[in-house]
Structure 1
Amino acid sequence: MWLLLGKGFFMGIFLATYTVGAETLFISRMGEGLLGIAFFTGGFLGIVSTIVFVSLQRNINFSSLAITNTFLILAYVTLLRGTYEFYDSPWISFAFFVMMGPITAVTLLTFWGVFGRMFNLRASKRIMGGIDTGQLLATCLAFFSIPGLRRLQLINDTTDLLFISIAGAFGIFIFTLLIVKNYNLDGATKKVSRERPNTSYSDLFKSKYLGLLSMFLIFSASANVFVEYSFYESVNVMYPNETELSNFLSFYDGSIIVISFIIQSFLNDLIIGKFGLKVSLMVMPIVLAGLTIGAIVSGHIFGFEVKNEEYILFFLFTGLARLLTASLKDALENPAFKIFFLPLDIKIRFDIQSRVEGVVNEFAALISGAALIGLGLLSFFKLIHFSYIIIFLAVGVIYVAVKLYDEYKGTLKITLTRQKEALGSKGKKNENSTVNVLQREFDEHNAESIILSMKLFEKLEPIEFRKILVETLKSPHPEVRKYAYAKCRQVNNFEKLAEIKKLASYEQEEQIRNLAIEVIAFLQLAEDYKLNEVSIRKLVRSVDKDDRVFAAQVLAKLDEEKYIPLLVELARDINVNVRTAAIASAGINKWPELWPILIENLHVPIYSNVAKAALTAGGEATLHTVDTAFYKTGQQGSTMFRVVQILGRIGGPEGVERLWKKIDFPDKAIVSEILLSLSYIGYHAKDFQAARIKIQIEAEIGDLAWNIKVLTEIPTENETDQLLVQAMEEENAQNYDDIYMLLALIYDSQAVELVKENINVGTSESVTFAVEMLDIILEDELKPKLFPVFDELKPQDRLSQLNDFYAPETFRGYEDLLLSIVNRDYNHINRWTKAVALYRLSMMDETKVSADLIANLFNPDKLILQTSAWIIYQKDKAEYQRHTRRIRPGVKKDLDRAIVPPTFVETEEDLHMKMLLIEKAVFVKGLDLFKTIPGSVLTDVVDASEEVRMRQGVTFINKGDNGNAPIYIIVKGSVLEQDDNGRQRTLGSRDVIGFNKLVETDQFEYNYTTTSEAIFLTISMEALFDLMSKNIEMVEATLLSVKDSDQIEAEDEVMDEERLLLFSQ
């Protein structure tokens, strides 16, 4: 970054001094009559330079092109300045002036080309502001320092400015060499895509849209040339002295930079956001026309050829016209104009853009120069008459802008249709389901990722897993096939025996072929097993759990009702493996008598996933039974959540209808899962249902507005404030996801997907393009509310626009804001954000035992209840005792155990107070393992965790232990990880043990022993898988974390082997 910043600094100095020097020398030494020729020549050279640049960029390494460009520019400026020492000809000034445009264009193209190749999009967005600001400061510094340098007599002649230009060009060259040496600028461009269509310049006018783009730029650039011509002629009259002219031009050109920066920083977003792209293109010509009319009137009345007191008025209008035109063109018109290229096909977009903005722009300068030459030959055509042409060109810009915008809207619709076709089936429904996320891992080209996905499939989708096993037997990876055969035996996948036999016959690896023969023999035994009451009952009543597991598996093929009681018996077995196998068999044979038992297991973490999968496998026949369970009085919340998931997985018209009937359920978690289930199906709402979705969208926008208001008023005094900001930002992220999902339910889901993709890119152009697409998709009633949500606005500006529809809440202070978060309805804010707000309240001295805190002692949410009680205890112990007497004895007992230290403790007694739930949550939130998981999900992880204390020297995991062991998160203390070969390392606070052991067949490779007293948070694998099935973020985080963990372990093993090899030598 510093190399690029240095190059930008020298570039700013070079361009500023070269511009002032070239303008001053040309105007003062060439006089009138050659401006037209100069513009014509500059336009021709500009066309040649841009064509050559574009051509070379395609055919040679960009690093070579960048070095060559900067060297040639340095050589050109040095050569011409040296010529002044021997031959002071005005034609040298002409050479400087006509190359001003081409040199500026090539310098900027090279600089931003280097920038784009040094950094990816994410890094570019982060540092672009700093690079742009550095270049701007250098340019302003150079412009405004020129008069001072003259007064200090450091510059005695305008040609001396060129020495500074040479120094700037030399600095650019040196920094370019350093960048090329330290960065690979050719990696992204060595191979040119063969699929890129060939476009010619004639294509720019064959297409109506491209023709309008070109015509707009021709009119705009031509107007700019005529304005510059009028300005140069008038400034030559106003400042005949070369020194005065140089001082004036330096301040004048510097003012253009400053005004452009002000417009870009404070007016650009306002004009584009509030008035749209069409008005943005029309601002410059309207301002230009108004000032030009003023110049015409003042010129005719007060004169325009001779410098006198009245001439100043004509010069003022002419100077302002060029000042504001240049500023508006750079700060407003150019950014808006770039957006009009976004509807073009990505394969030709950048090629067309470089041709239009480069060659067509220079072509406009060429024909304008030719027009100036022709008009200059007319004796009656005076300076003021050029102003009439400027008005004509300004009106032409306005007219073409209107036509261009109308064509842009039509092209946008065509582009939207084309991009939807390119998506194919993608985006028609929500693809981010658990099954899809895991199946995407099969596209990875390494065996570890596939096996990892299979492990998660086994736990999260156990019945689907049986089908996946057969597919993975076709894998090109021997490790995957070996794992799949072993699992086929473990789950007794005999119903797929025919397919397994066929695939095994193609197996080439001898070791795997032998394993396949063993597996097939075992499966054949189950396939041939004849069900009869005596034999199966013997297995069912066996004391050996393996016999009962086998019985449960073979009962999958039961076809007589008399065997149902036996499967029911096994489905209530105390052994986890037996019960799991029985529930899976119930899903395979689909007997309705077993469904109530499956529903009973939906809320039990260890069986919830297999029970859900079994009921889902029952298809539409299970819908009534499952739906009835949802409305059972006193039903478990987790069961209701699972019922919604099952209805969504089964789908169909009846499934959708039953889901929709629950849309007004008074629990946001349930409603969110209903909407998610509908999005997985690809449901499209109409009429009344669409109106209901729109109400939900408006409610989400209201929540977003409230959150933004809160975020603007949260101070950043300590880490907890930052945690609260993060929690609120997670709320916003969830609201945005909900809005996208809701829009996809009532509008074209693929169009919504394209809008989301463009907004996620995050550039100004892509966001504006996304909003333009929304303008086509949305109905008028939602546009004023949704545009501020998605447009690129500052928080205060976004809030200001949303406040037109959602009245802002006023907070009396930070404490009031925190209490407002705590008291906000659960349907509008999650428990994690509430808990963090309470946690922050506990740190404030001014916090009192208020009615808000007392009311939360009756909150059914244990996290909020415990945190509120803890705050009350910290602030006033007597009040805690007084108010907790009102709650149920069992709840008070739990609170006292967590909050109140024992009053009678023997001195030698070892007292340990466990962490509060909020303390656990804050701790877990800080772990790298869970960094991508929202706090609302982590609170469920904390609920499922247990705190364990161990003394020094306790070995709690031995090498060879299976994957049923819980996850251990070290809160305090140290643990020695050691294997039988002496390899070891010490783990400390925040390290996690066992997260990569997902299934029972996984085994630990190390012994783990505490080397000091240690405190752990433990999470059972069953609870973790239960949470994964409810939250896709947990699945994604697990995939990422296990891969990282395995990679680290592999690297450690390599390092240990290298270290042992080194010692042996």
Structure 2
Amino acid sequence: MNVEEGIKKLIQKTFDIRKGEFKIAFLLQASIFLIIATLLIVKPIVNALFINRFGVESLPQAYVVLAVIAILISTVYSVTLKRLKLITVILRTLTISAIALIAFGVLLYFQFNVGWVIYLFYIWTSIFAVLSASQFWILANVVFNVREAKRIFSFIGIGAISGGILGGYLTSIIVSFVGTEPLLFIAAFLLILCIPINLMIWKKSASKYNLFKRKKRISIISDNPVKSILKSKLLTYLAAILGMSVLVAKLVEYQFSDIASSYITNPEDLAQFFAFWSSNFNLISLIVQLLVTRWVVGNYGVGKSLLILPLGIAFGAIITFTFPELWAVVILKALDGSLKQSVNKSAVELLGLPIPFEIKKRTKTFIDVVVDSVATGIAGFILIFIINGLDLGAEVVSLAIFILSGVWIWLVSKVRKEYLNSFQLLNRSKKEEKATLKLNKSKTVFDSFQKIVSSNKIPQILFLLEQLKHTPDPRFQKHLIPLIHHEDKVVAAKAIKILRYYKEPIIETQAIHELLKSEDEHIRVEAFIYLLKFANDGKQFLIEKYLNNTDEYISSSALLALVENSKSSFTIRNLSLIQTKLAKKTEVIENTKDEDLRQFLQIITIKIRALLQQNEDLETLELYFTHENPIVVKQAIVSAAFTLHERFINPFIDLLGNKIYRNEAKNALSQYGFLMIDELGKKIRTNEIPQNSLHFIPSVLELFENQKAVNELFKLLDHEDLAVRLESIRSLNKIHSNFPTLNIRKRDVVDKINTECKIYLQTLNMMHTQVLVSFHKKDKKALPNISLEESRKSLMKLLESRMESHLERIFGLLGLTYPPEEMSKAYEAIQSEHADMRIYAIEYLDNLLEGNLKRLLIPIVEISILDSISEEILHDLDLKVMGEYECFKLILNQNDTKLKLAVIFLIGQLKDPRYKALLKDLLLDKNLKIRDYANNALMQLES
């Protein structure tokens, strides 16, 4: 083994980087190294130039301007990410940034309009810092999934720290020799180097994912992050603490800049000072992270660890207040810079443990961008008030830092209680949850965790295990060991899965081998993956031993485990072995007479093919959609959805029409992420969705629970299919009940209600016409096949059904402007057989509704409870009694296929030549069935 291979093996073992991941991880590390190095070259320079040109007293206004621009840019950036490929956005950002640096360097060198250039340069640098880091981590999250990220990001993060150290020291060393402008060209060159590196990352890894997979992994600001934050006390306090840390950091930055600039007046010397200490702070942060963080967080817990940063800053603020000198403010800045990215960061990550992962994902970008920007703006306003408004000195800023640190400490005390409560609540029954919480302060979070595990409450244990999957803290490790033998198989499998996320093995080898004999497939799979991870040089022996096991259940589970463990880095040898074994499993499926074994092997091979995702595997998965065994079909749907492949979209839509697989098909389509909303909308508008599936599209859109889904559902309110309109209203009501802050324009809803009311009254008039005609022609003799009377009754029944549907849609629309639960109860009361309930509902609506809605709706509701309709009622409603010809003409001009067919059939029975013109117009209708019915009816009229 040469030195290079030895180093590579050491890195792989230290950071748990697996085969096939090293090159991509190294490229990502190089990319973030160059980005942060660029930032640490540019930031000290622009800070020094800004302070030298405008004075430190202009920083507060710049903070406010920066906050506003940052929010606007982030909003535009989120929209851009939805519309363009991620790599396109990254390359354009890097190219524009490199050009901007060169432009700023040239303009500053020739002293062109220096004031505006420096101000723009300062704002641009801050925006670049947010965008460049953000898009890098977005790309990293596209390349690696959540579990891979937990293993690899610590290795990639070394690149960021190294870039911070090198960039600052480089600037501090050479700025005095070459000046500031040449350093900007060096920074631009570093950014240009990022372009081919990012292209290589994309081609080697990210490009293999289809559009749906890439977009799903991109974290953007969700539609309703504020509500998600406010619904959780813990998340609210967490956001407040993070906001407070940014606010205090900005005041510390101002204080640091103010005192430093009073001692160092030369801009190049000031840039050198800022760069030197920025690198020092990064170096101190790295040392604290490696040597102190784990010990502090491990021994003192989350609550006390979170206190270290604000207490340290408060201490530094007292020193700076007492001694407003350079050495004092360096200590203050060092405490903020070194502790924030080490002890505090680890404690904050652990603090999020009780918060469901999906909620954290939904709110993370909002907290990172909006909360950060708002805090920066508030810091600017505080400084404007202190410096410009009250005309006070820098000492008062130290006092403000001390006071805000006190508020920060208070927030930590509140969040600590809420953190422990979150764990204790998991161990309470529903009855206990309603009681007032009494926190036992002597208990730690680990005591609470142990109590939940001992309680044997499966839902709570599974929730905790799910959280640990995303944050596998070593201190929980010993509590997980008993769970691998838990009576609940899901708990046992999850516990084994989490234990393999740790760097060192903790389960005895013999115990794992015993677990491989478990009757549960998931336990066998997780146990084998655990063995593979910690087998080191004995991996190939284990693979051959278990893949060749005579027990099909054990060998098949081992095969699935091998594929799952190797999915990011298939070697040619392993891939060939897997395909050979898969072919043999297929032979067993075809030949075995054991139905249980056949079903088991079909499910295993389906899961394996979904992981392999070769063309033949995808084709086989699709074939399973028509399998005779519903259990096998459902597994095929779930596994196909995992691939997020475009080829499965149409089959999933088709499966919506099958009641047995409808729920699985809905969930499968929802897995594709927000892009599926546009995809379904496009297919609806181009009539690509089968009729038996069309009615269930609104319930699919409902699952997305975002503004985009609301907008698409609102478009469906104009769909020609009445059932689609009704289902869209139902879905909108469900989303509105769960997410009332999503935007639904009341004016648009009222317009829809008006339309539905007009159609209802029109249908009522048609119904009355048919009743009158039926009454006058009652004495007519029956036709040979189907009587005219029966044909008319069929039409009347359909009209009555349409009126009921219109009424339900009206109340559904009312639920979008008034409380949906109340409108649902009112509709149920209107439909009730009890007269007093119907009267009560009318009274309730009479008091609730206002203006035009009241004048329009109350008469309709009153009519809906009557047994018959008279001409007097039509007259009161300003409805003109129409003849049968006018009635038929009106129906045939509507977009209601069933009503049209009923009328055409009735016309054929009437054999009245007056209707020939109406039928001839339908011979060119786009609907084949209507054309056929019209042609048959014409033949009846002419016979």
- TM-score calculated relative to the size of structure 2: 0.46
Please report the TM-score for the alignment, with normalisation by the length of structure 1: 0.41
Larger helix proportion, structure 1 or 2?
2
